[in-house]
């Protein structure tokens, strides 16, 4: 399964996409097309990019789009006539997304003094053979968390995850958790910090 990729924004997604369109046109790395009411869905907006960059993938394209029910989130999807390899594994897909979109986000951040970044769904979970409920809880935390500054609800969800792992004797090391959090969109420093809290939390619970 290909990972979900998103960008959390602090302006309306319409403004974000309009601004990103101009950044993309100025950068010149892709053919750009702004769309509204995608496929007849009212309120869905998008920015299509047909890559001009050298690539091993045939006709690589990307879209940034928004949905009315997610007012502060923009989502990214990629497609290609032919991937190499086909179908693309996780790392190949994420690398293509970063090649196409990282320069746009960097240009946007510079112009508008923001700190946006791609949030990439963790490679999961299957890699470290987490039980289904554990994987579900971790993915819920990653998907919902404000990765720039955790809110109280984010901390509560993370503490509940620690308690669940302790109660169910989940075999997840701090280094593995740090990697999953990093792949899920947290900075390296934040991922390591949360992994340390996870380890300390489990140690404290083990003393009871």
Cα angle 92, 85, 93 (rounded to 5 degrees) comes to 20
> Mind listing the pLDDT tens digit for each residue in 161-178?
999 999 999 989 999 999
33 falls in which pLDDT band (50, 70, 90)?
A: very high
pLDDT at 32: 96
Work out the number of other CB atoms within 10 angstroms of the CB of residue 73: 15
Neighbours of 107 (CB within 10 A): 17
Give ranges for CATH 3.30.310 in the chain.
5-119
Asked whether the whole model's pTM tops 0.75, one would answer no
Q: What is the pLDDT of residues 188-200, one digit of tens each?
A: 889 999 999 999 9
Q: How far apart are CA 174 and CA 197, in angstroms?
A: 9
Q: How far apart are CA 166 and CA 2, in angstroms?
A: 30
Which pLDDT tens digit goes with each residue over 42-100? 888 999 999 999 999 999 999 999 988 888 999 999 998 888 988 888 899 999 999 99
CATH 3.30.310 fits 5-119, yes or no: yes
Q: What is the pLDDT of residues 112-147, one digit of tens each?
A: 999 999 999 887 644 556 888 999 999 889 888 888
Q: What is the mean pLDDT of residues 6-19?
A: 95
* Residues in contact with 32: Cβ distance below 8 Å, sequence separation at least 6, in sequence order: 21, 24, 25, 47, 48, 49
Q: What angle do CA 71, 119, 50 make, to 5 degrees?
A: 85
- The whole-number average pLDDT for the span 2-18 is 93
């Amino acid at each position: 399964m290909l990972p979900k990729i998103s960008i959390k924004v602090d302006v309306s997604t319409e403004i974000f996409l309009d601004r990103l369109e101009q950044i993309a046109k100025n950068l010149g790395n892709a053919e750009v097309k702004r769309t509204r009411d995608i496929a007849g869905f009212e309120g869905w907006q998008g920015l299509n990019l047909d890559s001009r960059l050298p690539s091993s993938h045939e006709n690589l394209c990307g879209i940034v789009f928004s949905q009315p029910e997610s007012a502060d989130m923009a989502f990214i999807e990629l497609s290609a006539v032919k991937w190499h390899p086909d179908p693309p594994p996780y790392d190949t897909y994420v690398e293509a997304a970063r090649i196409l979109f990282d320069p746009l986000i960097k240009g946007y951040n510079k112009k508008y003094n923001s700190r946006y970044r791609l949030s990439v769904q963790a490679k999961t979970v299957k890699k470290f053979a987490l039980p289904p409920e554990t994987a579900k809880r971790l993915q819920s935390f990653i998907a919902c968390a404000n990765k720039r500054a955790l809110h109280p609800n984010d901390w509560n969800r993370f503490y509940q995850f620690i308690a669940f792992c302790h109660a169910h004797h989940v075999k997840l090391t701090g280094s593995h958790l740090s990697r999953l959090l990093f792949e899920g969109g947290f900075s390296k420093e934040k991922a390591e910090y949360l992994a340390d809290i996870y380890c300390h939390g489990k140690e404290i619970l083990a003393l009871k």
